[in-house]
Amino acid sequence: MDEAAIKKRLAELHETIKPSALLGLKSAAGDGSYVPADPVDDNSINESFDYVRLQLKYLLFDLDATRRENRYLRQMLDSRSRREREDPEGV
C-alpha cells in the first residue's frame, strides 16, 4: 500500500470519527461503523493519528532498511558464489 492510499484512508477514518459525528450531528452509526458511548475530544483523536503516523513512519523506515540489508546480503552471496566458481580450490 503506498503512502497516498494510506493518507486517503486516514482522512476517511478521521471524517468517520470526528467529534461532530460522535455527538450525533452526523449519522456515522447508521452505516454500521462503531461509535463509542463517550464522546472523544478532537485533541485525543489528533494525538492518536500522530501516534499512528509515527508508527507508520517507523514501519516504512524498517521496511526500507530490511530491503537494503537484503540487497547487500544477496550481493555478498552472489560475489561469494562467483569466486567459488572461478577458484573452487581457494575456498
Please choose, from the candidates 60, 19, 8, the residue with its C-alpha nearest in 3D space to the C-alpha of residue 41: 19
- The residue among 85 and 28 whose pLDDT is bigger is 85
Q: Report how far residue 36's alpha carbon sits from residue 52's, in angstroms, rounded to the nearest whole number.
A: 19
Q: Report how far residue 28's alpha carbon sits from residue 74's, in angstroms, rounded to the nearest whole number.
A: 50
CB neighbours of 23 closer than 8 A, spacing ≥ 6? 39
Q: Report how far residue 35's alpha carbon sits from residue 29's, in angstroms, rounded to the nearest whole number.
A: 6
Q: What is the pLDDT, as a whole number, of residue 50?
A: 93
pTM value surpassing 0.75: no
Domains of the chain, by residue range, sit at 3-86
17-75, pLDDT tens digit by residue?
A: 776 555 555 554 556 666 666 666 788 888 999 999 999 999 999 999 999 999 999 99
